[in-house]
Copies of this chain bind each other. A is one copy, B any other.
Amino acid sequence: MSETTPLAIESLKHAPKTSGVEEMILRRWSPRAFTDRAVSAEDLKKLFEAARWAASSYNEQPWRFLIGRKGDATYNKIFDALVEFNQSWAKSAPVLILSVGEKTFAKNGNPNHHALHDTGAATANLALQATALGLHTHSMAGFDNEKIRKSLAIPADYEIGAVTALGHFGSVDTLPDPMKAMETAPRERKPLKEFVFSEWEQPAQF
């Protein structure tokens, strides 16, 4: 059992240490097991303060977040829109957040092609701030967009972003069997040469 204690898993999920790369970035990962401990109001404020200072095209700040806390109507509406696979683990998360991005610029109504790009940036800030506070996030694309738009009354001018589960990392033993192995598998990423180019598909030389 020792390899599946929360501490052992946290250590396993830590990206390889790279001198000079921020701990907060290397330690962030997306668990599926959460404890039932609530997230404090103070911590929630810090997370959205972090999101707030993200960069955006023309400083439009197109992101909006709808936050559901376990037991409230918004939580239930977000949860009900998740695909079954995500419901099976996300039910342990004390907070579910839906992000959306405004598709046009407030000042002139022109289309903002970076609405989701910038919403993703704000969500990355939020995730890193969560890590710094000892919290974890797990963002999902697996939910019914139209159902969530309807139940949460999202206007047509907003593009649906992601649902993010938020809470404290819990015990793998609470997860359905197929997910236990996923929760303890090493993290994987493409090597730099596959996504940093000098010319298209020519690895940049460092």
Number of copies of this protein chain within its complex: 2
Residues of B within 8 A of A192 (CB): 45, 48-49, 52
Interface 0/1 of A189-206, CB less than 8 Å to B: 110100111111000101
Cβ distance A138 to chain B, nearest Cβ, rounded Å: 8
A15 in contact (CB, < 8 A): yes
Given contacts A116-B120, A117-B162, contact A21 B44 (CB under 8 A): no
Which residue from B15, B54, B66 sits with its C-beta under 8 Å from A200? B66
Would B197 and A67 count as touching, CB distance under 8 A? yes
Interface size on A, residues (CB 8 A): 75
CB-based nearest B residue for A18: B49
Would B21 and A24 count as touching, CB distance under 8 A? no
Interface centre among A26, A57, A59, A117 (most CB of B within 10 A): A117
Residues in A3-50 with C-beta less than 8 Å from chain B = 15, 18, 20-22, 24-26, 28, 30, 41-46, 48-50
20 inter-chain pairs at a CB distance below 8 angstroms, sorted by A residue, are A21-B46, A22-B132, A25-B53, A30-B55, A53-B187, A54-B124, A57-B139, A57-B141, A58-B141, A59-B188, A66-B199, A73-B199, A116-B116, A116-B117, A116-B120, A117-B117, A117-B161, A121-B121, A122-B124, A152-B200
A residues sitting closer than 8 Å to B (CB atoms) are 15, 18, 20-22, 24-26, 28, 30, 41-46, 48-50, 52-55, 57-59, 61, 63-67, 72-74, 113-114, 116-125, 127-129, 132-133, 137, 139-141, 152-155, 161-162, 187-190, 192, 195-200, 204, 206
Give me 16 other A-B pairs in contact (C-beta within 8 A), A61-B195, A65-B195 excluded. A20-B42, A20-B43, A21-B129, A25-B125, A44-B204, A48-B195, A52-B190, A52-B192, A52-B195, A54-B124, A55-B137, A63-B195, A118-B120, A121-B123, A152-B199, A155-B200
